[in-house]
Amino acid sequence: MRARLGWTALVLGAALVATSCRVTANPAPTAAPRPTTTSPASPSSASSDPTTTRSKGPKPASHPAKPKAKRATHAAWSLVTEPGDGMQPIYRLMSSARHELDMTMYELADPQAVGILEADAARGVVVRVILDEDYSGASVNAGAYAELRSHRVQVRWAPRSTIFHQKTITVDRHTSAIMTLNLTSEYYSTTRDFAVITTDRADVGAIEQAFGADWVDFGPPQSGPPGMNLVWSPGAAAPLLGVIGSARHSLLVENEEMDDSDVLAALEAAARRGVRVEVVMTYSSSWAAAFHDLAGADVKVSTYSSEASLYIHAKVIVADRRTAFVGSQNFSVSSLDYNRELGLITTDPALVRPLANTVASDFAGAAPFRSAPQRAGPPPTQPPGTTPPGAGASCRATASSAHDGYAGDYDVYVSSNEPDKKATASDAGDTHSYDTNASGYAVIYLWNTSPGETIRVTVGGATCSTTA
């Protein structure tokens, strides 16, 4: 596991954004065997959460029941993608509170966020904050805890016996940010994380109901109310395995940990039944054995070096580009079965499509897993037909089937020396764009493209082309 770990967040209205953070990893205790549960799972889990090991249980059925993902009704969604979107959407959400602000946070080490909470309380907003005290929480959160208590903010420690890895902010019982990141400013600029801002009444109400119970109950948390789309821990294993098992054509997976035998078995089973499974993570020797097992089952694994400019802290599963999970849960026993965590499952294209594009782009920018730590960024040599950075804008494009069940749908993989620029792919009847990442990579989704058709790509000042 990386020495420093990150987390993601979600934010406001129709244009809010998320963040990320990491914690110092300590030796991980071993958790008890997975409890039997049928309730959906919840909040966020941290890379810095303890990892656990257990004997490999029976593999799930090849075709488990599809997850019960439901489209939000009468709600506005907003996806925040970090590090690109920045923290302002989250700060704006926190500052918008008029009556109440409730926060559950694994790590709070952001002076600006602490200042906003104090300012809210000073103008009469009822501010309640639950901070993790277990594992490394007490040391990381001690400063914020003391500061908030001295400024009229109601702040409590979560029970020491349970890791509270959830990262949520709810304002005025109307809008909630469900995040994969912690509020730790040291890591905002380098960590891949996501945040979903929702006004879905069922989801926001369920988050508030769980917060109310956690605020007064000092025992181990129970699985939270399901709302419309929520996945709570304890109890997240079944919903996440359901998303993996529902895939018929493709799976895109991003996580910080790979330490759950049931998840491993489900990914391997998906690949063996013909699903194209792509997993992208930051390399750690802790997961090397799992990577070997996955690769042996024809799962495509790509990794970034722990010293790369992008650290993968997000927790995402996208099945067939139609169903997505995003939340705080890592692939570990403690995260899925014991911690307080929260995520969501959705079929809303407004969330599924950008999640899929970002994970696919991260996969394209990483190095195929071998047996040693991987490079710290893009390939050391430029792809054929491109120009080294500094010698002019250049790009290279390739296209392959999107593996989503439709013959005319393609993923266009773009590599360039144009980081953080808009990349656009066009065929005769379709045009779509996506920003390149910090390494100049992007994946753009086109549909209704004919085999052999020319696809033209522009990115920054560069142009290139490929054929479907």
What is the per-residue DSSP string for 321-374?
Answer: TTEEEEES--EEHHHHHTSBEEEEEE--HHHHHHHHHHHHHHHHHSEEP-SSPP
Q: What stretches of 96-136 show up as alpha helix (H) in DSSP? A: 111-122
Query: What's residue 385's pLDDT?
Result: 39
Find the domain containing 407 and state its range: 395-467
| Residue 426 and residue 316 share a domain | no
Least confident piece of the model among 259-273, 282-296, 315-329, 398-412: 398-412
- CATH classification of the domain holding 424: 2.60.40
The pLDDT tens digits of the residues spanning 172-188 come to: 999 999 999 999 999 99
Q: Does residue 68 sit within a domain?
A: no
Mean pLDDT in residue range 411-439: 86
Going by C-beta distance under 8 Å and a sequence separation of 6 or more, which residues neighbour residue 296?
Answer: none
Query: What's residue 405's pLDDT?
Result: 65
What the block records as the tokens of 207 is 């988050």
| Residue 463 and residue 407 share a domain | yes
Spatial separation of the C-alpha atoms in residues 274 and 437, rounded to whole Å? 29
| Residue 268 and residue 358 share a domain | yes
Other beta carbons within 10 angstroms of residue 389's beta carbon come to 15
| Residue 251 and residue 354 share a domain | yes
pLDDT at 47 over 60: no
Query: What's residue 246's pLDDT?
Result: 98
pLDDT at 300 over 80: yes
Query: What's residue 146's pLDDT?
Result: 97
Mean pLDDT in residue range 92-121: 98
pLDDT at 36 over 60: no
pLDDT at 38 over 90: no
Helix axes 237-246, 261-272, angle to 10 degrees: 10
Q: Does residue 268 sit within a domain?
A: yes
Q: Which residue has the higher pLDDT, 405 or 40?
A: 405
Spatial separation of the C-alpha atoms in residues 145 and 390, rounded to whole Å? 47
Residue that has been written with the tokens 């009469």 in this structure = 124
Spatial separation of the C-alpha atoms in residues 17 and 89, rounded to whole Å? 5
| Residue 358 and residue 278 share a domain | yes
Q: Does residue 80 sit within a domain?
A: no
The pLDDT tens digits of the residues spanning 382-401 come to: 343 344 444 589 998 988 88
Least confident piece of the model among 16-20, 170-174, 412-416, 428-432: 16-20
pLDDT at 207 over 70: yes
- H or E stretch including 412? strand 410-416
| Residue 364 and residue 250 share a domain | yes
Mean pLDDT in residue range 53-77: 44
Q: Where are the beta strands (DSSP E) in 417-461?
A: 422-426, 431-435, 441-446, 454-459
| Residue 360 and residue 428 share a domain | no
Q: Does residue 123 sit within a domain?
A: no
Q: Does residue 18 sit within a domain?
A: no
Spatial separation of the C-alpha atoms in residues 434 and 437, rounded to whole Å? 9
| Residue 462 and residue 403 share a domain | yes
Q: Does residue 360 sit within a domain?
A: yes
Number of domains in the chain: 2
Least confident piece of the model among 4-13, 151-160, 209-218: 4-13
The pLDDT tens digits of the residues spanning 338-357 come to: 999 999 999 999 999 999 99
pTM above 0.85, yes or no: no
pLDDT at 331 over 50: yes
Q: Does residue 355 sit within a domain?
A: yes
pLDDT at 97 over 70: yes
DSSP type of residue 254:
E
Other beta carbons within 10 angstroms of residue 285's beta carbon come to 11
Mean pLDDT in residue range 50-60: 36
Could you tell me the pLDDT band of residue 403, with boundaries at 50, 70 and 90? low
- CATH classification of the domain holding 268: 3.30.870.10
| Residue 399 and residue 362 share a domain | no
| Residue 403 and residue 363 share a domain | no
Q: Does residue 2 sit within a domain?
A: no
Q: What is the mean pLDDT of the chain?
A: 82
Mean pLDDT in residue range 274-283: 97
Query: What's residue 5's pLDDT?
Result: 38
| Residue 406 and residue 310 share a domain | no
Query: What's residue 6's pLDDT?
Result: 36
| Residue 360 and residue 294 share a domain | yes
Query: What's residue 126's pLDDT?
Result: 98
Spatial separation of the C-alpha atoms in residues 373 and 100, rounded to whole Å? 46
Q: Over pLDDT 90: what percentage of the chain? A: 62
Mean pLDDT in residue range 123-142: 92
CB 457 within 8 A of CB 466: yes
400 bridge partner residues: 411
| DSSP count for the chain of H helices, then E strands | 9, 27
Distances 365 to 231, 419, 425 between C-alpha atoms, Å: 29, 11, 18
Mean pLDDT in residue range 455-466: 94
Could you tell me the pLDDT band of residue 415, with boundaries at 50, 70 and 90? confident
Mean pLDDT in residue range 269-283: 97
Least confident piece of the model among 105-114, 118-127, 314-323, 446-455: 446-455
